[in-house]
Amino acid sequence: MIEGVMVFLIIQLFFSLTFRDQHISKLLSLTVIAFLIYLLGHFMSFTLSYMVSASIIGIYTAYRLKKEPASLDFKGEAVFLGFFLYFLFLRSLVPDLYGAEKFMDSAVLSSILNSDRLPPPDPYFSGERLDVYYYFGHVIAAVISKFTLMPVEYSYNVAMAFFSAVSFSMLYGFLRERRVGWTGILPLLAGPLYSSVELAKIISHGDLPGYLFYWNSTRIIPDSTFGNVITEFPYFSFIHADLHAHTIAIPIKLLFIAVLYKFYKEGEYSFAIPVLNFALFATNSWDAPAFFLISSALLLWKDRSYWPLIIASALLISIFKLEMKTSAPVFLTFEFSPLPDFILFWGIFLALIYFRYAKDIRESPYALLLAVPFPLIPAFLFIPPAFYALRRRGFDDILLTAASAIILVCEFIAIDFRMNTYFKFYLLAWVLLIPAIAESLKKLYDRRREAAIIIIALMLVYPVFATPARHYKAELSLDGLKFMKDSHPGDYDAVKWLYGRNTIIVEGVEGSYTYGGRMASFTGNQAVIAWPNHEVHWRDNGDEIARRMSDVRAIYTSQCTVAKELAEKYGAEYIIYGDYERELYGEQNFSCMEPVFESGGTIIYLVGD
């Protein structure tokens, strides 16, 4: 384990020198490698495309260092290493890859690592490709997995620590160029005002925060369909530790902001803009329109001759979009956020934003009238700052204007579900606001230190109290399958036996967010059906999923010859029969098939002769 982490740190340090700015290069180099893998991976296996792509960028890096020796950014590396070890330690406390989306994320990662080509096979729906989910972020995670030389159950946790840490080192490097001090990273570390209010209530009752304290701040605003919308923010995503599209997109967004700033100021990294437009769309498409518009506006503002980069961005996005079979309904909604709940989420940021434009407000107070509807539609509180930002037209102001528009859109338009719209767009807006908030906090700290300390204290309530609440045990291991090794040792051994066989398996199935699909999730093999709630959302094929679930049940409850015939119908090579299947379906006799593996009550039967 330690050896793998050390190997990874050495390799990523080398690729941190691929481009001139280390805080940019650390993730940009991996993104470019993953981009080349995506292009090549449609014609060859992931492993081969990885070897070719990493070699190309490695040779380029070595050539650049020989031609132009680089000096190591010790401060930037210290920031990265400090946060990397911090988040790696947190993952070691509760390393389990179980609960929330961790099975699914492990399944996508395992499928990519074992894929014969891209898109990778859908691990939860045999016979189909994963052309229904934006998987590029997991290609980057797969590159990290290769760097570590460790299996998925370990490399998942290393990748999670890397994406979290590189977000902070990226922000530090970006803000350091602008002479923003240590306070600059606080917006990325912060939680919403809600956590302070909740803590006060808990303490007033003589209690201490429990496990759900870390969760409650992400369910603030009510929703008539799901109870609450999702209001995630970066630090929650980091400690919740789902290696999900929206989480991987956080450092990519920060990278994009850092690249756009270098281009805005110095005209550098223009080549990276189409790559990052592609990477963001192919990782988390919700973020792509905003960054495409922002980057296009900056390219044209800088020099209209940059229009080919806009075309290149659009073409790369179109290539991935044409590959995908995805769609989502768009509809109007007039279910507005209640003002108190809105303030409990955005209150700290709003205070710093209005402080940022205090001079503009004094000079043009009439613009505050734009916020008049805020008691009914509180997002209008962002309209006056957006008005002042448009007049200033600085880099941070452009991002703030975009964030304000996104927050306002959530009150009127829903994509997929209102819950999901808030989830993705609020997280996007939070990241876009970070540069302006960081600069505003620094100015407040310089001018009114007492007020700044109060703001900082409110920001830090969440990380200080939610972090220990989230990490409720101390395994001190990075083995994400330790939970399986302890509770279902036979399943653990079966996972090791099945890994990388690139075949189709039958295993028990319930809904999503269950123990079902555990073999497909960690072996790189396709299940006939697993996590059906996700599949029906992706594919909108409820009848076919119902048939498959019915057939799987029949395999475990019918005569052996019938079970064999049904398994052969889907081209399945193995049937898994463990404690999980016994609990779901009862005892079954597979005497007409050969058992090829048995451990701790888990048996794997060979379907064919």
In the DSSP assignment, the letter for residue 590 is -
CB 31 within 8 A of CB 54: no
Q: Is 119 left (phi over 0), alpha (psi -120 to 50) or beta?
A: beta
Closest CA to 466 of 116, 156, 216: 216
The residue type found at 159 is A
The residue type found at 307 is W
- 10 Å Cβ neighbour count for 443? 17
Structure tokens at 188: 């990325």
| Spatial separation of the C-alpha atoms in residues 476 and 456, rounded to whole Å | 31
Give 356-363 contacts, CB < 8 A, sequence gap 24+. 356/385, 356/436, 356/439, 356/440, 356/443, 357/384, 357/385, 357/388, 357/389, 360/388, 360/391, 360/392, 361/388
Residues ≥6 apart with Cβ < 8 Å to 477 = 1, 92, 95
**pLDDT (0 to 100) of residue 67:** 87
Q: Is 28 left (phi over 0), alpha (psi -120 to 50) or beta?
A: alpha
Distances from the Cα of 513 to the Cα of 99, 100, 105, 245, 539, angstroms: 6, 6, 12, 17, 18
**pLDDT (0 to 100) of residue 72:** 86
| Spatial separation of the C-alpha atoms in residues 514 and 531, rounded to whole Å | 8
What are the per-10-residue average pLDDT scores of the chain (609 residues)?
Answer: 90 94 96 98 96 97 88 91 97 96 96 96 96 95 96 97 98 92 92 97 94 96 96 98 97 98 92 97 96 95 90 95 88 94 98 97 95 96 97 94 97 94 97 97 95 97 97 94 96 95 95 92 96 92 94 95 94 96 92 94 91
| Spatial separation of the C-alpha atoms in residues 335 and 418, rounded to whole Å | 9
In the DSSP assignment, the letter for residue 73 is -
CB 360 within 8 A of CB 388: yes
Count CA within 13 A, CB hemisphere, residue 583.
9
**pLDDT (0 to 100) of residue 308:** 94
For the chain, list the domains and their CATH numbers: 488-606 (3.40.50)
Residues ≥6 apart with Cβ < 8 Å to 341 = 220, 221, 222
In the DSSP assignment, the letter for residue 369 is G
CB 385 within 8 A of CB 297: no
**pLDDT (0 to 100) of residue 126:** 96
Residues ≥6 apart with Cβ < 8 Å to 450 = none
**pLDDT (0 to 100) of residue 182:** 84
Sign of CA dihedral 528, 534, 540, 542: positive
Distances from the Cα of 458 to the Cα of 217, 378, 395, 461, angstroms: 13, 21, 27, 5
**pLDDT (0 to 100) of residue 2:** 85
**pLDDT (0 to 100) of residue 326:** 82
